[in-house]
Structure 1
Amino acid sequence: VRGPSGESEDFRIDAATAQAGDVLVGTGDDLTGRRLREFWPDLADAPLGRGCLDALATGETYEGEPFAHQEVVDGVAELSTYSVRVTPLADALVVTWVRHASSDRQEQRLADLQRLGNLGWANWNLATREASWSSQVFTILGRDPARGPVPLSALARLAIPDDRPALRRAVTDLVRAGSSFDVPFRVRDTRGVRHLRLVAEPVADRHGTPVEVHGFVQDLTARRRAELALVESERAILTQHDVLQSERTLVARLQNALLPLPEREVSLAGLRVEVAYLPAQAGIHVGGDWFSAIELPDGDALFVVGDVAGHGVDAVATMAQLRFTAKGMVITGSSLTGALARLNTLLLHSRDSHGTATMVLARYRAAERRLLWAQAGHTPPLLLRGGEVTYLRRPSGVLLGATTTPHFEEAECLLEPGDRVLLYTDGLVERPPENIDVGLDRLAAAVAAHPEDEPGALGTLLDAMLEGERRDDVCVLDIRVPRPR
């Protein structure tokens, strides 16, 4: 049946046997007058449709490959294997269906199994010295089937020189002692070096003498390459881990040199100050958390806590730059907000740093017990007074390195005897993915629950706050106003 353009659009059945009706509809109905598209809407995807189109186009007989076809036999659907032959006859086509026997189907399944498993079977008769291989063995070994199988005694010659002794010993032990074997070996052909496996077992006569050998050859090249790639990946990961671990050790030493921790509580401008720094436990990089606590020439005290974004050498280098510059600016007369503005400019224009940092600076005027402070995108200081915990209201200030036009403001707080102030980095309160406000509430509750005033109280607080593995560095300044004696 042709369309307006003259191309074949369908095929009409002019005559059919009852058996053809059994194959197509399972009832033996007369198919005369019906069209193929009733059974296969897309002719090009159907074996019979392809056969008809091919035979019509070439004028030659089409011999199709076996294919699975579901038919109904005695009312029960079963999957059978068929092939079709289409022969041009005058202006018609003669279609012959060939149903393959179960042995043919099993042979096809065996061929599919060998192809999917990339393996093939081989037999050697030790008495007649005859050998037979499946086609897949020739493919695996890269051998022309016209040359025939290789005798068992000569099989080792196919392997590369390094693998021949092991394969030769295995064959000898099989022939002499009837020992089965499973031996890996390599061959070289136009495809390169290939990794193969030969598994063989003997068949003995009634005297126990091996007379025949059955086995299979399997191509393991793809698997072996994957294994080698995995080993290389593991080696690269271990090497990278060693490099990063060495970097961590170096950075930690550098950090300890730049950021020495006091061994005990110190006294600054009449305040008791305890310091804690705890590196992250998750990962192998050292972070950029830092602090400063010094007494100024005029008797005031300067407290600084900062957190540089990132980890590693760059973060520690930026930390050192900010730490020493901040102290120098305040010592030489800069206001807290002025120091933050200049540090922001320093970060923006430093060739070695393209990051950001948060910071809180506080200046304690001992004569007035007045705490002046400013911040750049940092967590707010915590104040414990009379058993009540509050967070100081943060003045304006964006994180350093974020904008060329920052705005910073100062705030102040009059401290009283017995007050406790905490300056800290976000590692103390953050637990992703929870909101940081949850962490701030947790810190407030922990401080209220541990109001101890003796030295070492900061360690008790940290134990309560830091459960499990630390994901970030933690830096804390614990500042206390002594009570009158």
Structure 2
Amino acid sequence: MGVCDAIERREAAGKPAAMSAPHVPKVAGIDPTVPAPAHTATPGPGIPAAASETGTPIQDRLAGWVSDLTTLHELTERLARTGTLDEALRELLRAGASLVGARRGMAVLEPADGHGPTATIGLGLAHADLGTIETVPRSATSYGRLLDGLPGGPLPEPRPSLADRRTPHDHGAEGAADTPTAAPGAVAVPDLLGDEHLDPRHREVAARLGFAASYAVPLTTEGDGRLGAAVWLYDEPAEPDGRRRHLVGLYGQFASGHLARLLELERGRAEIAALTEELLPTRLPRVPGVRMAARQVAGTLGGGDWYDALPLPEGALGLAVGSVCGTGPGAVAAMGRLRASLRAYAVMEGEDPVAVLSDLELLLRLTEPARSATALFAYAEPARRRIVLAGAGHAPPLVVGDRRTEYVETSLSAPLNMLACWEAPSVDLDVEPGETVLLYTDGLLRRMGGSADSAFTRLHAAAASVPKADRDDPATVVDHVLRRVLAAGEDAADRDDDEDVVMLAARFD
């Protein structure tokens, strides 16, 4: 056969039937179709020509499954990297919108046990828009019925979309058996403006905000029950087909489990924060000649950072900050014991800070030999503006005034319980009228990230940048410094948000 004969036979073959075979629609913006191989000539006698037509739907279906699994894997990995409830809810809305083909939505976190926390997050909706939606009677909204478990009502029950109802006719009995179903408990309202059974206020709000359809899914787990609901809003009358419903249902199951874990962590952090707040001073004492302010920024895991200020005989004042190693309830409990012990030692021998810390080190070594801690105690005489202080492995205080902003040179020493017997010389400090002494814990340095030298430099720069007009108020000084040093900077990747931060300021008149 010559070249011309081959060309004639190739032209006679025409467009292969495999190229015009039906393809499944895109899912989540990914086209799962795989082109079937095209023949260059008419099959010879005795070779069944329908073989490629039979295999094409199977290949397309397998390609669709692979695409779905890839999409879910990417979206669930992104969700798993979120570490807070707020971040998880926002990622849930973004991923769900891509799966159901919507542009806006809202997620409501409302655990069924009533113990909180609760939150409402919007996607493409301003805070005022969320408030407008909340003016609709709760029982008339799809997410409200999901949260309250209300059966029946004017909202349509979950049902196959129009595309799903056409599937059995397009692909036969086998295709009908493989048609994905909607997520359990999901509610689709394909035409909010045209459904006369809906609450009039619901239709009014939908028209005002410019959405015409919604699709809502519950966020629930077997062990924790109902955690909340997510609803996505369409600009035009629409509803997701069965395949998209199936995908968002699977994603919602994973998201519910992730939210349940984050909810448990959030409640644990809240309990530790409440316990820490109870163990710290409820208010600072009033001592003539000095004004004080304190701030505590809790870490994500809860730690043992603390502060204290107590009046002593003859108009003196005891100032202390410290940090117990570790995190969680154990560290918080140890912090409470250490702070109470230091108060007792300060009352007995506060004029000698070295003796106070030596007694504290002995107590810690005898009662908790496996735990270490840092501490700084200062004995202040406001009338003389004189301070005697000693530190055990603790960062030096910072003096802020109109004429100077400098660290106090303290002697180097190991943390408590790190040596057989702790003892380090004390340091005398004279402060000028209007100067503020800042005592802080090491967690502040670790929160800033980077090296220790860069952290000290940033802290010094923040203290020096306090406007002169604000230096009369110790609370304003503390807030300014913390705001500057805890803001995200070039070392944001090295920041450790698990660390507690404590700062105590004393301004001498």
- Report the TM-score, using the length of structure 2 for normalisation: 0.48
C-alpha deviation, 1:103, in angstroms: 4.7
Q: Percent identity over the alignment?
A: 25
Tell me the amino acid that sits aligned with residue 257 of structure 1. Answer: E
CA distance in structure 1 between the partners assigned to 2:416 and 2:50 by the alignment: 80
CA distance in structure 1 between the partners assigned to 2:51 and 2:381 by the alignment: 100
The CA deviation string for residues 423-469 of structure 1, in whole angstroms up to 9 with x for no partner, is: 11245454443223333223323333334576524324523541577
SS in 2 for 1:380: coil
Shift of the 214–358 alpha-carbon distance from structure 1 to 2, 3 Å rule, reads closer
Does the CA-based 8 Å contact 2:386-2:431 persist in structure 1? no
Does the CA-based 8 Å contact 2:374-2:415 persist in structure 1? yes
Query: Which ranges of structure 2 fall in alignment gaps of 5 or more residues?
Result: 1-36, 67-158, 182-242, 489-496
C-alpha deviation, 1:321, in angstroms: 0.8
CA distance in structure 1 between the partners assigned to 2:64 and 2:340 by the alignment: 68
1:415 aligns with: 430
1:199 aligns with: 167
Does the CA-based 8 Å contact 1:274-1:477 persist in structure 2? yes
CA distance in structure 1 between the partners assigned to 2:180 and 2:263 by the alignment: 33
SS in 2 for 1:361: strand
Does the CA-based 8 Å contact 1:363-1:372 persist in structure 2? yes
1:433 aligns with 2:449: yes
Shift of the 228–118 alpha-carbon distance from structure 1 to 2, 3 Å rule, reads closer
Which is richer in helix?
2
SS in 2 for 1:330: helix
Q: How do residues 41-440 of structure 1 correspond to structure 2 at under 5 angstroms?
A: 103-114=50-61, 182=164, 199-201=167-169, 215-218=175-178, 231=252, 233-262=254-283, 266-267=286-287, 271-280=289-298, 283=300, 285-297=301-313, 299-333=315-349, 335-347=352-364, 350=367, 355-365=371-381, 369-384=385-400, 387-401=403-417, 403-405=418-420, 407-418=422-433, 419-440=435-456
C-alpha deviation, 1:110, in angstroms: 4.6
SS in 1 for 2:503: strand
C-alpha deviation, 1:305, in angstroms: 0.8
1:444 aligns with: 460
CA distance in structure 2 between the partners assigned to 1:116 and 1:416 by the alignment: 76
CA distance in structure 2 between the partners assigned to 1:448 and 1:477 by the alignment: 17
SS in 2 for 1:255: helix
Tell which has more relative contact order, 1 or 2 (C-alpha 8 A, sep 6+): 2
Shift of the 116–445 alpha-carbon distance from structure 1 to 2, 3 Å rule, reads closer
C-alpha RMSD over aligned residues: 4.9
The size of the alignment, in residue pairs, is 311
SS in 2 for 1:201: helix
Which is richer in strand?
1
C-alpha deviation, 1:255, in angstroms: 3.1
C-alpha deviation, 1:323, in angstroms: 0.7
Match for residue 483 of structure 2 among 463, 466, 482:
466
C-alpha deviation, 1:325, in angstroms: 0.6
Does the CA-based 8 Å contact 1:80-1:99 persist in structure 2? no
The CA deviation string for residues 283-312 of structure 1, in whole angstroms up to 9 with x for no partner, is: 4x5443221112223553221011234444
1:161 aligns with: none
1:480 aligns with 2:501: no
The CA deviation string for residues 147-196 of structure 1, in whole angstroms up to 9 with x for no partner, is: xxxxxxxxxxxxxxxxxxxxxxx99xxxxxxx97736xxxxxxxxxxxxx
Does the CA-based 8 Å contact 2:294-2:478 persist in structure 1? no
- Report the TM-score, using the length of structure 1 for normalisation: 0.50
Shift of the 104–240 alpha-carbon distance from structure 1 to 2, 3 Å rule, reads closer
2:27 aligns with: none
Match for residue 456 of structure 1 among 470, 473, 492:
473
C-alpha deviation, 1:319, in angstroms: 1.6
SS in 1 for 2:432: coil
Shift of the 279–118 alpha-carbon distance from structure 1 to 2, 3 Å rule, reads closer
Does the CA-based 8 Å contact 2:324-2:335 persist in structure 1? yes
CA distance in structure 1 between the partners assigned to 2:385 and 2:444 by the alignment: 27
CA distance in structure 1 between the partners assigned to 2:409 and 2:164 by the alignment: 77
Does the CA-based 8 Å contact 2:322-2:373 persist in structure 1? yes
Shift of the 459–100 alpha-carbon distance from structure 1 to 2, 3 Å rule, reads farther
